[in-house]
Amino acid sequence: MALTDDQMERYSRHIILKEVGAKGQKKLLDAKVLVIGAGGLGSPAAMYLAAAGVGTIGIADADEVDLSNLQRQIIHGTADLGKAKVKSAKETINAMNPDVTVHTYRQFVTSENILELIQDYDFIIDGTDNFPAKFLINDACVMAKKPFSHAGIIRFKGQLMTYVPGEGPCYRCIFKNPPPKDAVPTCKQAGVIGAMGGVIGSLQAMEAIKYILGVGKLLTGYLLTYDAIEQEFHKVKLPSHTENCAVCGDHPTITELIDYEQEVCTDGLK
């Protein structure tokens, strides 16, 4: 279908880019991105995807909006306190851009539901805050051959990497197994500067958009780290020898999804 006059106007700053054009904008409108976690990372990621005209956005989160979320989770407002995060996120996106169809999943991701959740999407954004979820998303995306963006934020630091099947290491290539409960600090314990979610979550949206457009270099094979105190980005080249990885290697030992029993780093509800 051709772009409408309104769409030509709304996306004019995209369409004028030679890397996008009307053709690229149509790709975005036809694309489906799932955002897991409507929090510090998922808020800006989902909002930039929505503004960009990504036609279908899924939002998965089981939580409700809590007062302590609002310092960084900009898709929610004060009037949304107590509301399901997925509902609040959907309302924000609907108000931003009527071109976007929002699917909401008011659930935590588990080994039982994740493969079904991700199967209809072209790209997945990991906006979760805890390691069981991060390993689950990684393993599910490796098994289902889905590209995804991993990210983490804490204090004044953030990082992200992109996994594309067959094009570089996965999260488990680097981190092997989740750390034991409380072994590494969580956001709730250690704090996080609110704008960090904006920096890193926007970069996740950028990765998704570039993947959909087929433009430029993705963070496959690299971990991009950001230190706000030093005001420095650093791109860490990851090892390319990952044939021993337990999930994406040549002889995977993890062939079923695992629900790690671990802590939740909630934003204050539990």
Partner 1 sequence: MQIIVAGNKKEVQDGLKLTELFVQEEVETPEYVTVSINEEFVPSERVKDTVLQEGDNVEFLYFMGGGSNGTDR
Q: Which residues bind partner 1 (CB under 8 A)?
A: 36-42, 60-63, 69, 73, 85, 108-110, 126-134, 136-137, 151-154, 157-159, 174-176, 179, 183-187, 192, 196-197, 200, 223, 225, 234, 236-241, 259-262, 264-267
End-to-end CA distance of the chain: 46
Nearest alpha carbon to residue 51 among 74, 71, 70, 68: 74
> Is the Cβ of residue 24 or residue 197 nearer to partner 1 in the bound state?
197
261 binds, among partner 1, Zn ion, none (CB under 5 to 8 A by kind): partner 1
Find the binding residues for Zn ion in span 240-269 (CB under 5 A).
245, 248
Query: 225 in helix, strand or coil?
Result: strand
In contact, 176 and 245? CB cutoff 8 Å: no
Contacts of 54 (CB under 8 A, 6+ apart): 28, 29, 31, 32, 33, 100, 208, 209, 212
> Is the Cβ of residue 228 or residue 254 nearer to Zn ion in the bound state?
254
State the Cα–Cα distance between residues 17 and 24, nearest whole angstrom.
9
Q: Give the dihedral sign, CA 100/104/110/115.
A: negative
248 binds, among Zn ion, partner 1, none (CB under 5 to 8 A by kind): Zn ion
Cβ at position 165, least distance to partner 1 in Å = 21
Cβ at position 106, least distance to Zn ion in Å = 30
172 binds, among partner 1, Zn ion, none (CB under 5 to 8 A by kind): Zn ion
Q: What is the DSSP string of 39-61?
A: STTHHHHHHHHHHHT-SEEEEE-
146 binds, among partner 1, Zn ion, none (CB under 5 to 8 A by kind): none
Cβ at position 134, least distance to Zn ion in Å = 13
Residue at 113: amino acid letter: N
State the Cα–Cα distance between residues 135 and 126, nearest whole angstrom.
10
Q: How many residues bind Zn ion (CB under 5 A)?
A: 5
Task: Tell me if 137 contacts Zn ion by CB under 5 A.
Answer: no
260 binds, among Zn ion, partner 1, none (CB under 5 to 8 A by kind): partner 1
